[in-house]
Chains A and B, each alone.
Chain A
Amino acid sequence: MENIRRVISVIVMNESSVLARITALFAGRGYNIDSLTVAPIPQSNFSHITIVTKGDKRIIEQITKQLNKLVPVFKVMEHEEMIEKEMVMVKFSVKERLSDIAALCGAYNGGIVNVGTDIVIAMATDEPKRIEHFLEATQIFNPIEVVRGGVVAIER
């Protein structure tokens, strides 16, 4: 069976070790995690975890079922129709062409967020595919460091 990319949202109780339960499940059963983000849901006892994974149909089905079996897991959503966004921050030397960098970031919903004596930090927020393109485009400015934030998604 063919491998497919899937974005899965997991709503979990806010309690210690819940993230460990989820990552241990992926590790123990040999599933992939491409990215994982987690943050509390405001005014609730729950957190929202977004996991990007790969696998064939049977594996993706097992992932959602096994996640659902974990006691602190409230809900598992396998996204089909969604908006997904990822954030990335890139560090450049201040000697690079800053206006070009700013223009590039502007095309990817970002901009320059910090300028120091030696370095400048730029960021972009966009769909994961476009973030890849953004990172390719930054190559000519000799990026010093790249930090990606992982995908968050919301059902349309």
Chain B
Amino acid sequence: MKMNGSQMVCEAITREGVKVVFGYPGGAIMNVYDEIYKQDGFKHILNRHEQASVHAADGYARATGEVGVAMVTSGPGFTNAVTGLATAYMDSIPLVVISGQVPLSLIGTDGFQEIDAVGISRPCTKHNYLVRDINDLPRILKEAFYLARSGRPGPVLVDIPKDVTAEFGEFDYPDSVDIPTYKPSCKGNDRQIKKAAEAIINAKKPLIYIGGGTVLSNASELVRELTQITQIPAVETLMARGVMGADNPLLLGMLGMHGNYASNMAMSETDLIISLGARFDDRVTGKLSEFARYAQIIHVDIDPANIGKLVDVDYPIVGDITIVVEKLIEQLQERVNPKNYESWRDVLKRYDTLHPQSFKDSDEVLKPQWVIERIGKLVGKEAIITSDVGQHQMWAAQHYPFDRARQWINSGGLGTMGFGFPAALGAKVGCPDKIVINITGDGSILMNMQELVTAAEYEIPVINVILNNHYLGMVRQWQTFFYDKRYSETDLSYQPNFKALAEACGGIGYDVTTKEEFDRVLLEAIERKKVCFINVAIDRLENVLPMVPSGGALYNMMLEHKD
């Protein structure tokens, strides 16, 4: 079938089953937008900033497991999208981002709104393309979707010059993809898996270390089954919250810099780490030379480059978590004796009793942890929780009772402030039946507050709970601990009127200072089904604890802070 490049883009998006595209038009991408106007294969949502478009596509992808699609124009449209690409890249989120480019004849001439998009995005995409020939476009679009979702997922950029979007060519959309240089291995080596199973059977203090790869592989149920039949305790990374479910007695909690005592001690004392889709990030391991000193390591990851990158691994297994865990269960069923780990479980239980994840509540001032636990009590399993980056993110990860994978959406790898609100829009669009709440801070929310307009226009009722301490809280916390309280540029006392701001953009706003108010307001906000800001005044100087100071050993946790 003959069609022009713009029609090809729309047709490919439709054929890939994408229902929603997030984007922002501009000169170089106008031809494609003209076709978007004429088609009804997918809906387009106009964000009010390109960064938000990519984050929204990202939130959509994380909530649904589908590929998210964003569309931007050349030059500044693209550079605004870079933070979104990098965010998705660091967390291995499948995205296809289409960017306009100046016409082929202008490339390299410093044309208006020209920037080397493939050059800039090379280190923050899984792969990228500059389309130089209309005849390549169908294949490239097909490959882009395939690359984004296969192997270790990630964002793929397709940069299309304006003349290519106007040119006509044969649209022969391939059914399958064959890239001779790209063959991700998913199955896991059976001999290694057998050896790993032996190691598990022989271990005395094994620990399952669950990372975001488990979520990406949709392996949550299988991992629960693995822990169930082995009765091996588990810890989750920030990216894996929800995989085990908060009520699961085998879940110790989150580990790492702001992990709970039992999780970090378990990691420090285990004799066998069973790592499932985690990558031994510095925020997880603390000081590497002191990390898990007594442990052998089974490392299951779909990306061979993650294995042996930071720690030496005894049982490397390259493969998809779903497939490998299935095989592990097969090997372990009827052979593993859960009783063998009983004394280990008892030790960990005692650690948890000794220093449980807790906080000191107050009647005078709202504590952020109370607010988060309260959201959990009021909407718990019904909600998808997104967050921005900072103290509120850590409190949410520590205190929200996550029940399932994909319930918790945050920027773990890049740590992008401003991610939460647009990601919540994407999540809500992808999962309209769920309540979507962005737990955010008074710093982060301002970094994409223009999305109030998007949410109001498209009637996407996302609730933003702003834990407002009038500080750039996490940096303030470090200044308190490590910089003698020199609060350099972290005092955010000068603020907008958040309630009025939300209302000015067509949403609703609330100011909350008491527990009673919070309960009433949250339920009312859910009821009113409109985008909203709930501005919650919290204890200004509350810290995120426990904390492993940066570069310290995981077992040296700061459990409380005294002035």
Question: With A17-B130, A62-B309 as given contacts, are A28 and B123 in contact (CB-CB < 8 Å)?
Answer: yes
Number of A-B residue pairs at CB separation under 8 A: 38
Asked if A24 is at the interface (CB within 8 A of a chain B CB), the reply is yes
Q: How far is the CB of B174 from chain A (nearest CB, A)?
A: 16
Q: Is A21 part of the contact surface with B, judged by Cβ < 8 Å?
A: yes
Measured CB to CB, the nearest residue on chain B to A69 is B305
Q: Which residues of B contact A17 (CB under 8 A)?
A: 118-119, 122, 130
B108, CB-defined interface residue at 8 Å:
no
* A69–B309 CA distance with the chains assembled, in angstroms: 14
| Interchain CB contact under 8 A, A13 and B181 | yes
| Known pairs A20-B119, A21-B122, A62-B309; A71 contacts B304 (CB<8 A) | no
A95 at the interface (CB under 8 A from B): no
> What is the number of residues of chain A that contact chain B, defined by CB distance less than 8 Å?
19
- Chain A residue with minimal CB distance to B122? A24
A71-B308 CB under 8 A given contacts A17-B118, A17-B130: no
CA A62 to CA B311, docked complex, whole Å = 12
B79 CB to closest chain A CB (Å) equals: 17
- Point out the residue from A28, A61, A68, A72 that lies within 8 Å of B308, measured CB to CB: A61
Size category of the B interface is 10 to 19
Q: Does A130 sit at the interface, judged by CB under 8 A?
A: no
B308 x A58 contact (CB < 8 A): yes
Interface string of A57-81 (1 = CB under 8 A from B): 0100110011011011110000000
Kindly state whether residue B182 has any CB partner on chain A within 8 Å: yes
With both beta carbons as reference points, the residue of chain B lying nearest to A61 in the complex is identified as B308
What's the least CB distance linking B450 to chain A, in Å?
A: 31
Collect the chain B residues with CB atoms within 8 Å of residue A28's CB.
Answer: 123
B182 touches which one: A16, A20, A24, A71 (CB < 8 A)? A71
**Which of A16, A28, A65 has the most chain B CB atoms closer than 10 A to its own CB?**
A65
CA distance A63 to B119 in the complex (A): 20
B172-198: contact bitstring with A at CB < 8 Å (1 yes, 0 no)?
000000011110000000000000000
Decide if B181 touches A71 in the complex (CB within 8 Å).
Answer: yes
**Also in contact, A20 and B181, with CB within 8 A (given A62-B305, A69-B303, A71-B147):** no
Does residue B139 face the partner (Cβ distance < 8 Å to A)? no
B119 touches A68 (CB 8 A): no
Q: Give the residues from 1 to 31 in chain A that come closer than 8 angstroms, CB to CB, to chain B.
A: 12-13, 16-17, 20-21, 24, 28
Chain A to chain B contacts (Cβ below 8 Å), 13 pairs: A13-B180, A16-B130, A17-B122, A17-B130, A24-B122, A28-B123, A58-B308, A58-B309, A62-B305, A62-B309, A65-B304, A66-B305, A71-B182
* B interface residues with partner A (beta carbon < 8 Å): 118-119, 122-123, 126-127, 130, 132, 147, 179-182, 303-305, 308-309
Task: Give A contacts to B, CB under 8 Å.
Answer: 12-13, 16-17, 20-21, 24, 28, 58, 61-62, 65-66, 68-69, 71-74
